[in-house]
Amino acid sequence: MIRKSTFLKDSGLKEKIAEIVESHIGVGLTISDVKKINADHGLRIPEKDYLPQTLEAKIVAYADKLVEREEKDFMEQLEEKREEFGTESRIVKTLEEWNRDYYKYYKK
C-alpha cells in the first residue's frame, strides 16, 4: 500500500486519497505493529502509524472487512490475529468491535 500511496502522490492525486490508500492495511497498523511485523517477517516497512484517520478511510477499511468476511472464515482470521498480536492488541480489539457491529447491524 505504501508504494501505491507514493505513486498516487507523485501522480498528482489528492493527498487525502493517497492517505486512504496508505492506511488501507487491514484495520491499520500502529508503529509497534509495524516493528513487530518487520522483526517477525524480515520486512522493512517504514516505522510510522498506518491507521485510518478520516471517516472515508475508516469506511473503506470497514467495507473491505465486510467483503473479506464473505470470502473466508472471519473467526478463523480473528484467531490468527490473536495468536500473532495477542488478545489485548489494538488490531484484535478493533476486529472484535467490528465483528460485534457486523452482527448488530447485518445479522438481525
Close Cβ partners of 65 (under 8 Å, ≥ 6 residues apart) = 26, 27, 95, 98
50 forms bridges with which residues in the sheet?
Answer: 29
13-22, 37-46, 57-66, 75-84: range with lowest mean pLDDT? 13-22
pTM: 0.61
Average pLDDT score over residue span 54-60 = 82
Residue with more model confidence, 96 or 22: 96
Residue 29's SS3 state is strand
- CA 55 – CA 1 distance, rounded (Å): 19
Q: What is the mean pLDDT of the chain?
A: 79
pLDDT at 67: 74
